[in-house]
Amino acid sequence: MKQLHLATSWGELRLAGGSRAGEASLVLLPQLRLALDAGRPARALVPLGDVVVSHGHMDHVLGLPAWASQRQLNGIPGGRVYVPPAIAGGVAELLATCARLEGGKPYDVEVIPVAPGEVRPLRRGFELRFFATSHWVETLGCCVEWVRHRLRPELAGLEPAELQRRHAAGEAIAEDVRTPLVAYLADTGPEVFAAQPWLADVEVLVVECTFLRPSELERARRFGHMHLDDLVERAAGLRNRHLVLTHLSRRHRLGPGTRLIRSALTPILTPELHLLNVEWE
Ligand SMILES: [Zn+2]
Ligand SMILES: [Zn+2]
């Protein structure tokens, strides 16, 4: 897997992962103990308590039973899996079946259906906000928001006693500041950019780029995937600090595909470009 160290307003965010369309995608944020998809088993996945499964395609879900099994073997309780409602029953059945195959107890994993628009607490100071992407099956995108409480700026400079008095009188003296830190688009066509315009300003944008050649544009549209031309078209409007690309089709060899993506995007892009594509063994 690849390791990225990304400068953000929160601090250095570590991101590990690897991706290839049809084989496996996983994006791990170990500081937040969060995995975005679990396309194949990975040792680094096991300690992470929260997993978002964007949709039911095997390249995004196959690592889940191994994650649950390894957590049970290592005595780690309380995993949570966030899934689109359409596959919640299937994912719960998959985990129950795998636990039965192993002959042991059911895994201690909660499968949580989440609909687009829902917000869930992740851990202190962080929330997950879900949205729909435009793939050919129901697919969840996910935004990690950094949430801080601060004194309302217009109250700065007041004495603590005065602030206490106002607070006691019922005045709201604090407010939440929400920073969209990471957005993960899973599998999607470009329509998601129009539906979710805030994506252009999230600090770390993780987006797929499956197809590269002009001849593959029709295929990209048919199956709800991003084409390199879609990103070229939108590059000038992206104000992110980092753009992380995933999900390269196996129609492209890793080296030439990487060079093609970099040569098309680097000259026209504001965000720093990172590629998570790997050659899985
Ligand atoms: Zn996929
Ligand atoms: Zn898919």
Is residue 3 within 8 Å of 46, Cβ to Cβ?
A: no
Rounded Cα distance between 258 and 163, Å, is 56
Reported as a single tens digit per residue, the pLDDT across 84-140 is 999 999 999 999 999 999 999 999 999 999 999 999 999 999 999 999 999 999 999
Ligand at shortest distance from the CA of 62: 1
Confidence of residue 240 (pLDDT cuts 50, 70, 90): very high
Ligand at shortest distance from the CA of 60: 1
Rounded to the nearest whole angstrom, what is the distance from the C-alpha of residue 6 to the centroid of ligand 2?
Answer: 26
- Mean of pLDDT values over 219-223: 97
Ligand at shortest distance from the CA of 137: 2
Reported as a single tens digit per residue, the pLDDT across 65-75 is 999 999 999 99
**The overall pTM is greater than 0.85:** yes
Q: Is the per-residue pLDDT at 281 higher than 90?
A: no
Residue written as token pair 């899934």:
83
Domains of the chain: 2-275 (3.60.15.10)
Strands (E), 32-76: 34-38, 50-52
Rounded to the nearest whole angstrom, what is the distance from the C-alpha of residue 68 to the centroid of ligand 2?
Answer: 22
Specify which residues 121 forms β-bridges with. Answer: 127
Rounded to the nearest whole angstrom, what is the distance from the C-alpha of residue 59 to the centroid of ligand 1?
Answer: 5
Reported as a single tens digit per residue, the pLDDT across 155-179 is 999 999 999 999 999 999 999 999 9
Neighbouring residues of the ion ligand 2, judged by CB less than 5 Å: 57, 187
Rounded to the nearest whole angstrom, what is the distance from the C-alpha of residue 77 to the centroid of ligand 1?
Answer: 29
Measured in whole angstroms, the distance separating CA 28 from the mean position of its chain's CA atoms is 8
Rounded to the nearest whole angstrom, what is the distance from the C-alpha of residue 41 to the centroid of ligand 2?
Answer: 18
